[in-house]
Structure 1
Amino acid sequence: MTISATINRIISTVVAMLYTRLELVTVELEEEFLRFSSYFIYALIALFCGGVAVSLLIFLVIALFWDEHRVAVLLSLIAVFSAISIYIAAWLRTQMSNKPRLLEQTIAELKKDAELLRVRESDSEQEPS
């Protein structure tokens, strides 16, 4: 095999590898965008519905206890909603820290490719000329 044929084969292999990796990057970015978009939409819907429900509940409870214990009821509601918000913030922090890294699969494939090229390079250096 001639040197130019070998170089052409290496170049075509590298170009094919880069093309495949770029396709993988595109797919991963699209998946991440869709995941984030769905999280965002569901979060907005949940916030709206929860806000309406909580507002109505607060008005109901205050109306029920207006004459006797309005201060105690208001303090209790403040404590309950503060505890809920702290819990949700902690849960959200855990979820965000446990999500997969962006482009994790692409990076793994590129590492495999680099290792494969190193092995092939070391094999070709060991072959007798």
Structure 2
Amino acid sequence: MADHPDIGWSGSLRARLDNLLAAAQTRLELLTVELQEEKLRLARLLFMTVLAALFLGFAAVFAALWITVALWDSHRLLALGLSTGLFVTLGVAAATVAARTVAAGSRLFAASINELNKDRSALGREP
């Protein structure tokens, strides 16, 4: 027994601490991967949203100009007024959808939280 000093309770404690640290390291690595994935997803979403808004904005302006020029002699003010009303309505609708989307949100780090809950359950502590 003198040859193996770690066999007693201190060895058991060290093994448990080693397991705990390994589990914590794995969870942190998972958290890092999830954070990177979320960052890439948000960057792509932002880019595509800006691009879509830019092209749709150009299309809306040119459509309004086309209608106004087509009705220039008879109803130009009506065409401008209806175009403005349409753009304001669409802008308010888009802002409402964006606000609801932000309010609903997504559960960030869901996989990490689930794994930590499993760890707590395995240790005998219910989350």
TM-score when scaled to structure 1? 0.82
Q: What residue in structure 2 maps to residue 55 of structure 1?
A: 61
Root-mean-square deviation over aligned CA pairs: 1.7
2: CA distance, partners of 1:22 / 1:32: 15
Q: After superposition, where does 1:90-105 map in structure 2 within 5 Å?
A: 90-105=96-111
The range that moved more, 50-59 or 106-115, is 106-115
- Secondary structure of the structure 2 residue equivalent to 1:68: helix
1: CA distance, partners of 2:93 / 2:121: 45
Unaligned runs of 5+ in 2: 1-6
2: CA distance, partners of 1:104 / 1:70: 54
2: CA distance, partners of 1:70 / 1:52: 20
Letter in 1 for 2:65: F
The size of the alignment, in residue pairs, is 119
Q: After superposition, where does 1:1-129 map in structure 2 within 5 Å?
A: 2-117=8-123, 119=124
- Secondary structure of the structure 1 residue equivalent to 2:74: coil
Work out the percentage of aligned pairs sharing the same amino acid: 29
Shift >4 Å, 4+ stretches = none
Letter in 2 for 1:14: L
Unaligned runs of 5+ in 1: 121-129
The range that moved more, 36-45 or 78-87, is 78-87
Per chain length, whose mean CA-contact separation is higher, i.e. which structure has more relative contact order (CA < 8 Å, sep 6+)?
1
- Secondary structure of the structure 2 residue equivalent to 1:24: helix
Letter in 2 for 1:17: A
| Structure 1 residue 96 displacement after superposition | 2.7
TM-score when scaled to structure 2? 0.83
